[in-house]
Structure 1
């Protein structure tokens, strides 16, 4: 997590806390060292964020400090609520936890009428909940897409045939039953889709594909246009 993002997260955690939060608790929540939290708290205090407390007793955010309010219409809020509910039906465990944190942050920042609309439990996402893939951490794939890092898969196709693939992941598609990794496959030298529930093992591979992601996504999406044109010509 970048330092700027971590500072924001510390403010949010303190804003939502009902009692003093220790550096150890913040470190566990943000997956950093306690020493990093001490440095971050000092940096925030230097920026005049009104954090009080100290080592051993915990920290609080003094009342009166707030981030700028989030200005959403009722329909925009309903769109957010439904989107987060849909995320909760994917098999991506890390995204589910992120959706819960988004809910908490928005609830703590929006005015009362919008908070009531958010907590009204009137909108639901229904249907099958995709299971989390056993041999794959989807957060690893998302990170590789962002960083343009290669991955190595132990993969088994629909006929049960196993193979090892080095891929350049460019997108993730979430379905109700599963999710698909869209990637350039170095074995096939082409864009391929890999079902997450058929991945038996996934690790980072040596090497990156920096600067190639956009071009590979353009190659992938160009296939959509060609397929649509072929159907229209029938």
Structure 2
């Protein structure tokens, strides 16, 4: 089965663009208790910019800037009302992404760029993916999963997904995937329920 054609390249995210995404949160602090942080997510925002803004919000509290951390908290509260999916993703990024004070292990091989691109597109489109997987015990299996989110712990990039074989949530190192191919299907209607279940399982 062949994957769909490549999506147009995501615009380059500059410091200015990311700053614009987070400016509303900072404004909430300067305006006092009456201010409401503008939503990070929205139908008009480029998905790549939205994801970068969410990941930035997730680590603001670790940067030694209490003003920025307060702005991030205000924005997170607003997200729960204006962008429920974004609020869930933010909670997952806070729990599972690598912190600024940490670093990725140099002895771990990187994930293939083509696989990462395919996963980002499949997550965006709520499209299943299939791949071979070699686990930490060198056992090889074939998986078809509903990809939900990519996270970045120190050991390397992981996909968090609903696995159709296990009928449960599973985590997969992207570097351990082989022959990743997007599949036919669309789980848009189930995505929010799956994200909520994942957030509950991870305790976030």
TM-score range, shorter chain: 0.3 to 0.5
Which structure has the bigger radius of gyration? 1
Q: Whose RCO is larger (CA < 8 A, sep 6+)?
A: 2
Tell me the TM-score normalized by structure 1.
Answer: 0.42
Identify the structure with the greater strand proportion.
Answer: 1
Tell me the TM-score normalized by structure 2.
Answer: 0.48
